[in-house]
Amino acid sequence: MKLSKSEEEVMNHLWRLKKAFMKDLLEQYEEPKPANTTIATLLKRMQDKGFVSYKLFGKSREYYPLVSKESYFSKQLKGLIKNFFNDSPAQFASFFTEKTDLSEEELKELRKIIDDQLKKS
């Protein structure tokens, strides 16, 4: 399941904070800050999707993520590769390296990452 851009922004704050009350989340936003009701609506939708939960402390809710950032990003990347690159990681890698104007140093870094991964296999 995918999050909207606004929901992803809230999730990024939660992933960074690990757990947060509404006031903690609102402090993460620059001016003009979203309304409490906007964040509450996003959190409710994210809860319904299974991304967040909360613990009650009196009337206050402390929210925390149920899905790790790595897990979410991995699923989104796999979906992108499946939908736009014929389920071919090689096509994705080719597009990524050709179309993103990577420097020689960045390409060498990618090669090292791939070589290191091959050694682990």
Q: Which domain holds residue 54?
A: 5-65
Contact in structure between 34 and 26 (CB atoms under 8 Å) = yes
Is the pLDDT at 15 greater than 90, yes or no?
Answer: yes
Mean pLDDT of the chain: 94
* Residues 21 and 59 placed together within one structural domain of the fold: yes
* 19, part of any domain: yes
The count of structural domains within the chain is 2
28 in a structural domain: yes
pLDDT-derived band of residue 97, with 50, 70 and 90 as boundaries?
Answer: confident
Task: Tell me, yes or no, whether 59 and 98 share the same domain.
Answer: no
Does residue 81 lie in a domain region?
no
Q: Are residues 59 and 91 in the same domain?
A: no
* pLDDT number for residue 11: 97
Retrieve residue 12's tokens. 């990024």
Instruction: Write out the two tokens for 69.
Output: 């950032």
Q: How many residues does the chain have?
A: 121
pLDDT(101) > 90: no
CATH code assigned at 50: 1.10.10.10
Q: Are residues 105 and 53 in the same domain?
A: no
The reply to whether 110 falls in a domain is yes
pLDDT at 63: 98
**Confidence (pLDDT) at 102:** 87
**Number of alpha carbons in the 13 Å side-chain half-sphere of residue 106:** 7
Would you say 113 and 105 are in contact if contact means Cβ atoms under 8 Å apart?
Answer: no
- Residue 79 within a domain: no
Question: Based on the number of CB atoms within 10 Å of its own CB, is 117 exposed (0-12), middle (13-18) or buried (19 or more)?
Answer: exposed
| Within a domain: 77 | no
Residue 121, pLDDT above cutoff 90: no
Position 59, amino acid: K
> Are 11 and 50 within one domain?
yes
Q: Do residues 10 and 49 share a domain?
A: yes
Q: Which two tokens stand for residue 106?
A: 């960045």
pLDDT tens sequence across 35-93: 999 999 999 999 999 999 999 999 999 999 999 999 999 999 999 999 999 999 899 98
